[in-house]
Structure 1
């Protein structure tokens, strides 16, 4: 019986020592749900593709009045890429690399789209360079053909002026 009383008293003493547990420190984590404007930018690209060159020029002027930011850089790059000018395509790539270097939350959300566009614009530049080389080679080949035709005509004229006495 003594043992039972000692156990009961010991349990009461231990229970008194424990007391109420302090609550674990909690911090409130608030998830900010900001929508990515990738869908908006893709829709914008579809609109750009439907524009005439004159409309595209006006749109570029309008974009240049927008406040600076990653989304604006992507818009500008999309518009520049459609002008069919190698210099503008290089500018478009530079705009996209600016977004890639940006560490803001907005830029981070746009990076998958930007990486896709960088690859696409890089391919476009390679194709344009290849087409230009082919065009230069074609012009050179046409020039040589024209020279050979001129020589052939000159030889035919010489042959016509020769006396026919050798027959």
Structure 2
């Protein structure tokens, strides 16, 4: 025989306590479900790999344009291989071109190769035109113009000294030749003169008489 769900023999107070306990358990269960679990400890970040300095990319080949001074130095080197006829032809060719500081330097260099005093003077005039120029292209050429001017002035001074020494040597040689000619003329005159008579010696007899008388 089944017992009724509602036993009138259960005391009312017992039923109320059971219901309160059941409500408390349900409340605790719901609170446990609603509470979020504590966060897990954060993992440390992965180590950063060391930065490797990348090698600089090779610079692209940039064409280097030679300066005006470098061009003139190469031109001067080429002039040294020319003979006087080719130098004169080069000067005539330069005279037909438009006047620029670069051209004045070329003409000065070509004229200096003749090694004559007049051409060195003309070369110095062309250098002076560059040194006195206010053209922007002339500014880069002035140090070389000063250097060449100093060198050619010393060369011209030595050339003048050599010319004076050569002139003195020629004068001395001419005077020596004149003295030799005069000496030879005197010798020729001396050979044409008659021989001088020999002086007579003392008489032998007179000498004996004098000795006996004494």
TM-score for the superposition, normalised by structure 2: 0.60
Structure 2 portions without partners, runs of 5+: 1-64, 199-214
Which residue of structure 2 aligns with residue 55 of structure 1?
86
Report which of the two structures shows the higher radius of gyration computed on alpha carbons: 2
1:103 partnered with 2:134:
yes
Displacement of 1:166: 5.2
1:91 partnered with 2:122:
yes
CA-atom RMSD in angstroms: 1.7
Displacement of 1:84: 2.2
1:36 partnered with 2:51:
no
Aligned residues: 135
Which residue of structure 2 aligns with residue 66 of structure 1?
97
The structure in which a higher percent of residues are helix is: 1
TM-score for the superposition, normalised by structure 1: 0.76
What SS does the aligned partner of 1:164 have?
A: coil
Provide the C-alpha distance between the structure 1 equivalents of 2:123 and 2:115, rounded to a whole number of angstroms.
11
1:36·1:110 contact (CA, 8 Å) conserved in 2?
no
Structure 1 portions without partners, runs of 5+: 1-33
Which residue of structure 2 aligns with residue 152 of structure 1?
183
Structure 1 residue ranges (4+ consecutive) displaced by more than 6 angstroms after TM superposition: none
Provide the C-alpha distance between the structure 1 equivalents of 2:78 and 2:101, rounded to a whole number of angstroms.
19
Provide the C-alpha distance between the structure 2 equivalents of 1:81 and 1:135, rounded to a whole number of angstroms.
22
Which residue of structure 1 aligns with residue 169 of structure 2?
138
Identify which of structures 1 and 2 has the higher relative contact order when contacts are C-alpha pairs closer than 8 Å and 6+ apart: 1
Provide the C-alpha distance between the structure 1 equivalents of 2:116 and 2:146, rounded to a whole number of angstroms.
21
Displacement of 1:79: 0.4
Provide the C-alpha distance between the structure 1 equivalents of 2:131 and 2:171, rounded to a whole number of angstroms.
41
